[in-house]
Amino acid sequence: ADNGRMLALGVGMMLANCVAVLAIGILMHPVLRIHSPPVARGYLATRVLEASFLALGSTALGSGSLALNTVFYNVAMACLGIG
């Protein structure tokens, strides 16, 4: 039971990180838009993709799939690097 609670806590923290990643994109959008609207849209889109894949990975981990979590994490980091 203790391991289950620790896993739930870890997944909850990962989901909180997803919200933070998305919030960074939303909060930076008005600042970047002043300098370059296309860059602002691209940055926001990149952060939305990153947060989405991280959330999918967190959900997969909560379901017991460490391998799928790793794949989603790597895709999220690739989206961030490419964007």
pLDDT digits (tens, 9 = 90+) for 57-78: 999 999 999 999 999 999 999 9
14/8 Cα distance (integer angstroms): 10
pTM, entire model: 0.90
pLDDT digits (tens, 9 = 90+) for 4-51: 899 999 999 999 999 999 999 999 999 999 999 999 999 999 999 999
Contact 40, 29 (CB under 8 A): yes
